[in-house]
Amino acid sequence: MTFQEILQNLFLDKISIGTLNLPFSILDVLFKVMLPFILVIISYKLITMAIKKLLKVFKVKEKVSVNIFKWSRRVLRVTAFFALIAFIGSLLGTEIANYMGKFIKLMNDPFFETGNTKISIVTLLMLIPVFMASSWSGKYTRRILDKSFINNLGIDETRKFSIGSMTRYIVMAVIFLFGLTVIGIDLSALGVLFGVLGIGLGFGLQGTIANFFAGLFLISSGHVKEQDRILVDGIEGTVVHIKMLSTIVSTLTHENLIIPNSKLMENTVYNYSFDDRRIVLINKISVSYESDLDRVIQVMEETVQNNPYLLKNPGPVARVDSFDDSGISMKLISWIDDISHKHEYIGWVNLELWRSFKNEGIDIPYPQLDVNLKKQTEDEIIKRS
């Protein structure tokens, strides 16, 4: 058989799948479905670009423009979907009802049975809306609790977070299990199946299981909660979201890190906002030995008073820290209202102290090395040589 005959048989002969003979060839699929659908996608892109340009030309308000563009895209996508269905229907012709029945039967044929549970492709597809419904229910249940019930309890943020998160996951679990029974999955048989799988996968999923239980502990204990500023394993950032397996932390450089929950259990976690977002900060600076230390202390305490993040009570305190080789080390101890302002505060104070010291004539020393050269007489040089 020549190469031309092989290509001809491949593209022109009707497609057969086992005992199922389809009334179209690969060439029919290419020209009756693929090519027209590609043209539909190109048309979709061109129409959306035209709508965007027209909205700019007519200077439609931004909010209205966004809504028009969003709904236009939705309508076009629905149109493209029905166009694809029409293209596929043109392949089947008058036999479309027959083949649709065979397709539905194939989708409903179970490939796994245990007890009263029969799992087919349709069953697996039905899991998608079950997952979505459980996730949506949990999220909006917590949102409703946060807005109404929890805020009226008069409890601290840690307990609010724990109650809200645990309620969310309990609702998700209940809705998910209820959804499984609705689509025909026997929970007792499912438990046996998970037990058998757990024996084989338990050792391979030790890390995942550890992260899961660590997540439960974090959520229930409230030791680390969302919006906390933490330092763990040398990484400082704000907790964005605590999930069942991992915690998302946004660093000071706006990098989102996904940290396994077990890491938060195994390592020491510095929680700067556990029960109080206030924090004590220390700014250090050196002055020369010729400085009037009483005046230095007064200037330091007066300079920081204008900082917008400073807490007035307790007020800032300047102290002599140590006597070093190059100068006298001073430190300024002060409270700020929120840990999130830490770096802004430190930078502001350092700059203003430098300006104040310059205006007052207070020297900030830097390391120096004094080298003394001893003059030798001619007799000493001859004696050494």
The CA distance from 117 to 111, in Å, is 11
Length of the chain: 385
* Domain-located, residue 382: no
Enumerate residues 6+ apart whose C-beta is below 8 A from 126: 183
CA angle 165, 166, 172 (to 5 degrees): 90
The predicted pLDDT at position 268 comes to 84
The CA distance from 356 to 296, in Å, is 10
Q: Report the CATH number that the domain containing residue 318 is assigned in CATH.
A: 3.30.70.100
Q: Report the CATH number that the domain containing residue 242 is assigned in CATH.
A: 2.30.30.60
- Assess whether pLDDT exceeds 90 at residue 180: no
Higher pLDDT, 58 or 274: 58
Q: Give 226's pLDDT tier (boundaries 50, 70, 90).
A: confident
Please tell me the least confidently modeled range out of 10-24, 26-40, 335-349: 10-24
Total domain count, the chain: 4
The predicted pLDDT at position 295 comes to 92
The predicted pLDDT at position 370 comes to 64
The predicted pLDDT at position 369 comes to 64
* Domain-located, residue 121: yes
* Same domain, residue pair 295 and 316: yes
Q: Give 194's pLDDT tier (boundaries 50, 70, 90).
A: low
Show the tokens assigned to 172: 């998700």
Instruction: Give the DSSP letter of residue 253.
Output: T
The predicted pLDDT at position 43 comes to 92
Long-range own/partner contacts, residues 191-197 (CB < 8 A, 24 or more apart) = 192/114, 193/114
The CA distance from 271 to 233, in Å, is 12
Half-sphere exposure of 211 (CA within 13 A, CB side): 15
Q: Beta strands of the chain (E only): which ranges?
A: 14-17, 20-25, 112-114, 117-119, 229-232, 235-242, 246-251, 256-260, 269-271, 279-287, 317-323, 328-336
* Same domain, residue pair 141 and 191: yes
The predicted pLDDT at position 4 comes to 64
The CA distance from 299 to 359, in Å, is 10
- Assess whether pLDDT exceeds 70 at residue 12: no
* Domain-located, residue 323: yes
* Domain-located, residue 380: no
Q: Across the chain, what does the average pLDDT equal?
A: 79
* Same domain, residue pair 196 and 249: no
Higher pLDDT, 358 or 185: 358
* Domain-located, residue 346: yes
* Chosen domain end from 271, 305, 330: 271
The predicted pLDDT at position 376 comes to 60
The predicted pLDDT at position 133 comes to 86
* Same domain, residue pair 291 and 245: no
Give the best-scoring range by mean pLDDT among 85-89, 158-162, 347-351: 347-351
Phi-psi region of 18 (alpha: psi -120 to 50; beta: other; left: phi over 0): left
- Assess whether pLDDT exceeds 60 at residue 328: yes
The CA distance from 94 to 368, in Å, is 96
- Assess whether pLDDT exceeds 80 at residue 235: yes
Enumerate residues 6+ apart whose C-beta is below 8 A from 340: 229, 238, 277
* Same domain, residue pair 118 and 186: yes
* Same domain, residue pair 12 and 90: yes
The CA distance from 67 to 223, in Å, is 42
* Same domain, residue pair 302 and 333: yes
- Assess whether pLDDT exceeds 80 at residue 17: no
* Same domain, residue pair 229 and 157: no
* Same domain, residue pair 120 and 193: yes
Rounded percentage of the chain residues whose pLDDT exceeds 70 = 74
pTM: 0.49
The predicted pLDDT at position 297 comes to 92
- Assess whether pLDDT exceeds 90 at residue 46: yes
The predicted pLDDT at position 111 comes to 65
The predicted pLDDT at position 256 comes to 87
* Same domain, residue pair 143 and 184: yes
- Assess whether pLDDT exceeds 60 at residue 203: no
- Assess whether pLDDT exceeds 80 at residue 384: no
The predicted pLDDT at position 107 comes to 72
Contact between 266 and 322 under an 8 Å Cβ cutoff? The reply is no
> Which amino acid type is present at position 218?
L
* Same domain, residue pair 134 and 172: yes
* Domain-located, residue 376: no
Helix %, strand %, coil % of the chain (to 5): 60, 20, 25
* Chosen domain end from 108, 142, 164: 108
Domain that holds residue 290: 279-360
- Assess whether pLDDT exceeds 70 at residue 193: no
Look-up of token digits 């959306």: 48
- Assess whether pLDDT exceeds 70 at residue 159: no
* Domain-located, residue 151: yes
